[in-house]
Amino acid sequence: MSIPTHEKAVIIGISGPSSSGKTTLARLLQRIFCGVNLKPKDSPLNTFIIHEDDFYFPDDQIPYTTTASGTKIQDWDTAAAIDIPFLSQALHYVRENGRLPPRLQSKEDQNDETSSGVPDEIVQELRDVVGSRLRDGTAGKSTESPTIAFLEGFLLFAPPQSKSEQEQHVLRSVHDAINLHLFLPAAYELVKARREGRSGYVTVGPAPEPPVQTTEDGGDGKTRTEIDLEAEDDRPPQNFWVDPPGYVDDVVWPRYVADHAWLLISDDEDEDKKGGSQALAEADLVRRVGDGTRARTDVGVEVAPGCGSAGMDVVLRWAVELILGYYLDRT
């Protein structure tokens, strides 16, 4: 879904498996694009990051799953753990207002921040390139979208929808709110090593009573509950989640593969022609995907170079070029 030019923000979606570098890339891109002057009235470009992890349900609403060994644990790697309506509403608010809603305050920024591995000299070089090209490209033009928001998260994209499909994918509203879709593949071994090397994650805490507005839905007898995005964030003090032993192999990796089979398994590789890859058992999907470094390039998602092995400096240059091209084409 293209965004009308009168809206005030462009949203860049950055997705991939856990520990693939999504947050690192988003933070680097913000450093490069933030405050660059555009030619019309020398107005500065505004940028900020939206973390999907800030849209987790409260701790006491995270669903449970039973592992292959019979252990019952919370599953933080399923779409059912994310407040998708809240995320979708927030993205549309950003598009329309060019800023984050007051209701959203980041908990993700309290988690450990690792080194990007990209020297400051490269960041400054790219910042100079971005400034020059944006000033030249917007000279004499009306810039209606002076904000770029970088959305990063492990579950953002939906598969292409055929005309015959009746039910929408659970992430369709999120996918369609994103202008440019960037995907960072990463090998299983790398995901496992990085994820297990983390100390843990700040979480929301138990559920409060959120301010809501209930509105009637277009004559079908149903009601929709919408979050008041202008209200202050009244969520309680945070908790801290630490992955239990075996969590990557029991939950993180198989959930990632199952949710992204449409992107990681091509049509000619799909043996189950009737049901599609989603009809296969989770274990079969994991086997078919292998190390997870191959991704399709024919489904409207831009895939980072190197099949997950390229350095962050290479991925950063790739992302900058795509964003510049999209933004300048749009203006």
Residues contacting 76, CB < 8 A, separation 6+ = 56, 62, 201, 241, 251
Phi, psi of 318 (to 5 degrees): -60, -45
3-state class (DSSP) for residue 216:
strand
pTM for the full predicted model: 0.85
Distance between CA 326 and CA 150 in Å, rounded?
14
Spatial distance between the Cα atoms of 102 and 30, rounded to a whole number of angstroms = 20
d(CA 108, CA 76): 14
pLDDT at 95: 95
Determine how many CB atoms are found less than 10 A away from the CB of residue 57.
17
Strand partners, 303: 183
Q: What tokens does 295 get?
A: 């991704």
210: Cα within 13 Å, side-chain hemisphere: 20
Task: Report pLDDT for 210.
Answer: 45
Which residues, in sequence order, are CB contacts of 268 under 8 Å at separation 6+? none
Q: Name the β-bridge partners of 139.
A: none
Note the pLDDT of residue 273: 38
Using CA atoms, how far apart are residues 13 and 301, in angstroms rounded to an integer?
Answer: 10
pLDDT for the residue numbered 154: 97
Instruction: With a cut of 50, list the residues of the chain below it in pLDDT.
Output: 1-4, 208-213, 272-279
pLDDT tens for 132-188 read 999 888 776 666 668 999 999 999 999 998 765 656 899 999 999 999 999 999 999
Question: What confidence score (pLDDT) does residue 115 get?
Answer: 75
pLDDT of residue 48: 93
9-159+170-207+228-330 folds as: Rossmann fold (3.40.50)
Determine the Cα–Cα distance for residues 113 and 51; give it in Å rounded to an integer. Answer: 14
What does the domain layout of the chain look like in residue ranges?
A: 9-159+170-207+228-330
Helix (H) or strand (E) holding 66: strand 64-66
pLDDT at residue 258, as a whole number: 94
22: closest CA among 127, 149, 112, 151?
151
